Amino acid sequence: MSLSLDATQLDRYSRHIIMDEVGPPGQKRLLDASVLVVGAGGLGSPVIQYLAAAGVGHLGIVDDDVVERSNLQRQVVHRDDDVGTPKVESAAAFVHGLNPDVTVETYETRLEKENVGVLADYDVVVDASDNFPTRYLVNDFCRINEIPVAHGAIYKFEGQVTTLTPDGPCYRCLFPEAPEPGTVPDCATTGVLGVLPGTVGCIQATEAVKLVLDEGDPLVGRLLFYDAMDMTFETVPYRRNPDCPVCGDDPIDSVADVEYTDACAVSLD
């Protein structure tokens, strides 16, 4: 790996380069890295923004939605002029304007079993999705293919973040099955504090950068809770479940037979 950075890059990333934990080698790792962000909404926006600013050289963005005016209260990579535009296009334009070092691959689609294989092309996946079927699909595929995941979720004034690596517990160890459909309302029904996904998404981006740099202590086996109203953070440990169908003692080797509907359960029959 060449450590050569041009004059513009030395200037742009100077605050990274002077840090012992990053330096020129770490910045080159970021420039050579590929990270896929699943979702370009509330959580995905700050993730995309800060990964691009940090110089992650190849960003993938998956989203099948278009920008609506109600998104603009929290989805900070989109602008009023982007209303009606696919979110992946708006997000890519934002990245191009922020950092020309970053190439962007867009996937204007919903992540499904049929196209989930695209995740295998990336070093790290950030789960910024807003639904349980996608979360379980990302967890299962990435665990089988040994891809680390920075997971986040938000609800009204609260957020949670955890990091899933090949040698730690997975999302199913934490939540064996999804809640019953309709029991967890979305932000269109309950609302969400506009600045909340900024905090949670920044933590996810931090975890992704740490994974690329192989520095620090990621949130592996730890679920970080954030309460914006009380301004408190709490970390709850969790362990690998030996009976987990995805990372336990007798794991599945493919997502092909898993139905990502309702409880997103894995049949062991």
Catalytic residues: 187
Enumerate the H helices of 13-147 as residue ranges. 14-17, 23-32, 44-54, 87-98, 132-144
| CA 195 – CA 76 distance, rounded (Å) | 10
Q: How far apart are CA 189 and CA 61, in angstroms?
A: 26
Residue 102 · residue 13 · CB < 8 Å: no
Alpha-carbon distance values, 247 to 39, 150, 168, 252, 268 (Å): 25, 17, 9, 8, 13
CB count within 10 Å of CB 42 equals 24
**Nearby residues of 234 by Cβ (< 8 Å), 6 or more positions away:** 224, 225, 227
Backbone φ, ψ for residue 263 (5° rounding): -80, -5
For residues 222 and 60, give the distance between their C-alpha atoms in angstroms, rounded to a whole number: 26
Handedness of CA 153, 109, 138, 262 (dihedral sign): positive
Residue 65 CA to residue 79 CA, distance in Å, equals 15
E strand or H helix that includes residue 232? strand 232-237
